[in-house]
Amino acid sequence: MKGSIFKTLTFTLALLASITVVAQQSGIVTYQKIVDYGIEPNGTERWDNFIKDLPKAGTFVYTLTFKDGQSLFQEDASKKGEVSPLLQRAMGGAARFNPPKVKVLQTYQSLDKAETIEQVEFMTRNFVVKSDLTTPAWKITTKKKKVLDYVCVGAEMQVGEETITAWFTSEIPVAFGPDTYHGLPGLIMGIEKDGDMLVLASEVALSEPGNLSVPSNGEKITRADFDKTVKEKIKEWKANGGGASSDRRGGN
């Protein structure tokens, strides 16, 4: 009788341990992300006066869903805040008179296939951009920070002149993070650039989420070909006088 009870208890503990491991390796993380509106002064009095009191960046809600060695990072459309009409006009002006920019809508990563797939918008067109998933050159430091209830360790890398710091926790043993950041021995809970926190986890729900959908809405293209397309279109934009009519900015 005792042996039977012991076996049942052992099985139950093993099952609970298994469920805990699965939960740690799947879930949904909610992040607060600061996004630059791209509204900058250009030396034109009318435009600079028009934008001087407007916010230059806003905080948006994003989610990272991860399971089975895959992750999907995207904006939470249900929590998208309203933008004032004045700010919309300023953003429209910046879009018309600044070089066209790439907007990333979804970022999917697969560890098994070692690939990243991004759904992006560029000049009103959607693209599905595929590239290899390569491990960034992180240097793990001795710095520590607590994010929510998790103890995080800092890892740094240099991108151009910027120092990127990722705060990751080994308590959630997955190599994913927001945007395209990944490759650390734990979930990335926050991202800093030159000491400024740009992405920070606000909620973690460790559970078994539904299936992850791979981005598919758009023209499929490799990273090299997409970068070439962007370069050529910006060159055309400049050749056609893009940005030349800066005296028309603001109040129109």
Q: Name residue, tokens 């070909």.
A: 225
Burial 82-112 (b: 16+ CB within 10 A, else e): eeeeebebbbebbeebbebeeebebbbbbbe
pLDDT at 157: 96
- Residue 6, token pair as written in the block: 């012991």
Average pLDDT of adjacent 10-residue blocks, the chain of 252 residues: 43 32 75 89 85 88 96 91 82 80 95 96 95 94 96 96 96 96 97 94 91 92 96 90 54 42
| CA 18/CA 244 separation, integer angstroms | 62
What is the 3-state secondary structure of the chain?
CHHHHHHHHHHHHHHHHHHHHHHHCCEEEEEEEEEECCCCCCCCHHHHHHHCCCCCEEEEEEEEEEECCEEEEEECHHHCCCCCHHHHHHHHHHHHHCCCCCEEEEEEEECCCCEEEEEEEECCEEEEEEEECCCCCCEEEEEEEEECCEEEEEEEEEECCEEEEEEEECCCCCCCCCCCCCCCCCEEEEEEECCEEEEEEEEEECCCCCCCCCCCCCEEEEHHHHHHHHHHHHHHHHHCCCCCCHHHCCCC
Residue type, 138: W
Displacement of CA 235 from its chain's centroid (Å) = 27
Burial 13-41 (b: 16+ CB within 10 A, else e): eeeeeeeeeeeebbbbbebbbeeebebee
pLDDT at 243: 65
pLDDT at 24: 58
pLDDT at 65: 96
pTM attached to this predicted model: 0.83
